[in-house]
A and B are shown apart, each in its own frame.
Chain A
Amino acid sequence: DVKVTQSSRYLVKRTGEKVFLECVQDMDHENMFWYRQDPGLGLRLIYFSYDVKMKEKGDIPEGYSVSREKKERFSLILESASTNQTSMYLCASRHSGGSNQPQHFGDGTRLSIL
């Protein structure tokens, strides 16, 4: 079974802090994704990475950056956390392969910015 592990289930930080959310997958997947989920807005893509050191902006990249130095790890960085970044964050990964493959999600991180 695919295992996507997010470093924290719950996280509380203060406004202005630099926040790191970590995601690790164990299936040698090329593609990795960060989404956030908000009531009434659903799941929205923040950034994705199609391979090591590669990244692309999703729908809502403002206020975030990402890092993919190793294939198994994809980090989401809140450069200066703000209260409107309080949300549920979900990481996903998948194999790129020769045709489209399903995305597999981690358990999510509930982030509160005070």
Chain B
Amino acid sequence: GIQVEQSPPDLILQEGANSTLRCNFSDSVNNLQWFHQNPWGQLINLFYIPSGTKQNGRLSATTVATERYSLLYISSSQTTDSGVYFCAVEAGSYQLTFGKGTKLSVIP
């Protein structure tokens, strides 16, 4: 099956700093989503981005499908950004395959 690798696995930021999270995948995909899982376990949709670039406030994402990677940018980080960020892809089936996530800690 398709492999999804996220980096870095852990990230500690000072409040106000910027960061880039990366997601590499091993095959062509027809769906790519970024999620934020907060400390209460809720999985929040950030972006649906099988290709191209999208922005939502301080967050933006870019997927380069031909090179099989996606990037999530977080600017001016806040403590509420803490949690785990997941990339998940779908390759021709109904199933989303998740990466192992990047655990982000934003400290005041």
The 10 A-B pairs of least Cβ separation, nearest first, read: A102-B48, A105-B43, A100-B31, A43-B98, A108-B41, A100-B30, A107-B42, A42-B98, A45-B95, A48-B94
- Work out how many contacts link A and B, with CB atoms closer than 8 A: 48
Residues in B whose Cβ lies below 8 Å from that of A45: 95-96
For the side of the interface on A, what is the size category?
20 to 34
Q: Report if A63 contacts B (CB, 8 A).
A: no
- A and B contact pairs by CB, cutoff 8 A, 5 listed: A90-B43, A100-B30, A100-B90, A102-B31, A103-B88
Minimum CB–CB distance for A101 against chain B, Å: 8
Residue of B nearest to A40 (CB): B100
A33 to B95, CA, bound (A): 9
Contact A56 B94 (CB under 8 A): yes
Quick one: which of B5-44 are within 8 Å of A by CB? 30-31, 33, 35, 40-43
With A42-B101, A43-B96, A100-B31 known, 17 other A-B pairs at CB within 8 A are A31-B94, A42-B98, A42-B99, A42-B100, A43-B88, A43-B98, A45-B96, A48-B95, A56-B94, A100-B30, A100-B90, A101-B31, A102-B31, A103-B33, A105-B42, A107-B41, A107-B42
B43's partner among A31, A100, A108 (CB-CB below 8 A) is A108
The complex places the Cα of A100 from the Cα of B93 at a distance, in Å, of 10
State whether the Cβ of B80 lies closer than 8 Å to any Cβ in chain A: no
**Which chain B residues border A31 with CB–CB below 8 Å?**
94
Interface positions of B from 71 to 108, Cβ below 8 Å from A: 86, 88, 90, 94-96, 98-101
- Compute how far the CA of A108 lies from the CA of B52 in the bound complex, rounded to whole angstroms: 30
Q: How far is the CB of A88 from chain B (nearest CB, A)?
A: 6
A82-97 interface code vs B (CB 8 A; 1 in, 0 out): 0000001010100000
- Interface membership of A104, Cβ < 8 A: yes
Q: Does A50 count as interface, using CB distance less than 8 angstroms?
A: yes
A68 within 8 A of B: no
